[in-house]
Amino acid sequence: DYLVPLEVIVRYYLAGSMWDRVRAGKVAPADLGFPAGRTLEYGMRLPEPHFEVTTKLEPVDRLLTTAEALDLAAIDRADLDRIRESALR
């Protein structure tokens, strides 16, 4: 047993920091499963659950790419897939 130093976030609605990233133009509707060009509104239900990984042991949680998460946690893709499957249950 060991601590995986990642925070897993599963989003079902467009809110919080994801809304901030959408408003800043860092996330497009298509990135969330909506048709390209769709006008997004705060609180909208996402077409599919959106899985994200951030740091957990840093002073401020930082959004990670898959490659960064694998490297930081010293896990392989299969481990991350198992974590994702567990979070989506």
Q: 38 Cβ partners below 8 Å, 6+ apart?
A: 29
- For the whole model, what pTM was predicted? 0.84
| Domain locations in the chain as residue ranges | 6-87
Cα–Cα dist 14/55, whole Å: 21
- Alpha carbon distance 20, 26 (integer Å): 9
Contact status, residue 48 vs residue 33, Cβ threshold 8 Å: yes
Task: Please state, in angstroms and rounded to a whole number, the distance separating the CA atoms of residues 17 and 21.
Answer: 6
34-62: pLDDT as tens digits: 998 899 999 999 999 999 999 999 999 99
Q: How do residues 56-88 score in pLDDT, each as one tens digit?
A: 999 999 999 999 999 999 999 999 999 999 999
